[in-house]
Amino acid sequence: MTLPPFGRFFLPGPTDVHHDVLQGMVRGMMPHRGADFEALFARLVAGLQAVFRTRRPVFISSSSATGLMEAAVRATPPGRILAIVNGAFSERFARIATACGRDTVVLDVPWGRGVAPGDLRAALAKGRFAAVTVVHSESSTGAATDIRAVSDLVHEHGAACLVDSVTGIGAAPVETDAWGLDFVLTGSQKALALPPGLAFAVASEGFMAHAREGTERGVYFDLVEFEQYALKHQTPNTPALTLLYALDAQLPRIAAEGIEGRWARHAAMAARTHAWVVEASSETGLDLGVLAPPGERSRTVSAVTLPEGVSGGQVVAGAAARGYVIGDGYGKLKGRTVRIGHMGDHTIDTLDGCLAACLDALREVAPRR
């Protein structure tokens, strides 16, 4: 079987998967109630604990990340939920809260920005909330939020902080235990560079104690069930075994680099991309920009703003013609931006290939000077 070469796929999810990881999936099935599975599960949780910087159990869900966003809402004690919305994924978190029957208040933040502490403080002062939802790295805009500061403010208010770090964990510092995060989740197909289909989360002891008293937890995304089975090194239902095999192949690769090394590599790839936007603007004469301002930029996703007359679709097609996949803008930014996912197992080397292809694509659409 011929696999496409690694290093050409820069969608902000799914991300490119290394051949060693893809090949690691080709293993026979095993019963998920048995000693072999329990050994596998224990090994996976230990590797994930290093990624999440936690000693708590890491829940492994056979679902995409959205499943664990819903689990977080369902486990939240009764009361209103404040949703910080600064892009399409944080909007989804708010929608999940509403759909689960929760009284939800939205704190609107301009797309491309993180929430300002003063605005959050003012929103919290307006009432009592059981939980606040926040997205660490808004993959629709490339904006990063200081989740430690948000979590601290939320705790002063006495609420739980539910963190979507789907394009954060594995790329940007997240100290689950040291920062006292109540709930933090990610998905397999982003910075961890696995195929889509798994989601991972950690819940604090306090958050789980409240969850156990709740009555609206449902079944498939019930964190209490996840916890009970995790104690036996099992999952509540049949897990996506082949994806667990991929994780089993990837975790030693992550450990070999070290989580801090991974954070540093992602910082370097983001900086390279931001510098390239300036270079590409002057090379092509096009007014290009990074949507998020300096200091609020994600390490994993850059949304590049395009001038009038250049569409995201043109740039995406131009990159594709050169063998590279990047993303069009997301949601209301579609067409007006392109998104480059510089995450997972990419390196400055593979990224430079992608940026060169994007520059050629931009030259093609730029008016002649």
| Site residues for ligand PLP per CB under 6 A | 13, 64-66, 89, 135, 139, 164, 166-167, 187, 190
Task: Kindly state the smallest distance separating residue 64's Cβ from ligand PLP, in Å.
Answer: 3
Residue type, 80: R
Q: Which C-beta is closer to ligand PLP: that of 13 or that of 344?
A: 13
Q: Which C-beta is closer to ligand PLP: that of 89 or that of 324?
A: 89
Spatial CB neighbours of 289, under 8 Å, sequence gap ≥ 6: 277, 281, 304, 305
Helix (H) or strand (E) holding 134: strand 131-135
- Candidates 13, 293, 8, 53; CA nearest to 166 is 13
- Candidates 126, 167, 113, 172; CA nearest to 148 is 172
Rounded CA gap, 144 and 165, in Å?
A: 10
Task: Kindly state the smallest distance separating residue 135's Cβ from ligand PLP, in Å.
Answer: 5
Task: Kindly state the smallest distance separating residue 24's Cβ from ligand PLP, in Å.
Answer: 21
Q: Which C-beta is closer to ligand PLP: that of 134 or that of 288?
A: 134
Q: Which C-beta is closer to ligand PLP: that of 37 or that of 93?
A: 93
Rounded CA gap, 207 and 42, in Å?
A: 23
Q: Which C-beta is closer to ligand PLP: that of 138 or that of 362?
A: 138
Task: Kindly state the smallest distance separating residue 213's Cβ from ligand PLP, in Å.
Answer: 27
Q: What is the DSSP string of 290-352?
A: ESSPTTSB-SSEEEEE--TT--HHHHHHHHHHTT-B-EE--GGGBTTEEEEE--TT--HHHHH
Task: Kindly state the smallest distance separating residue 90's Cβ from ligand PLP, in Å.
Answer: 8
Q: Which C-beta is closer to ligand PLP: that of 280 or that of 290?
A: 290
Rounded CA gap, 165 and 25, in Å?
A: 25
Residue 137's beta-bridge partner residues? Answer: 144
Residue 334's beta-bridge partner residues? Answer: 337
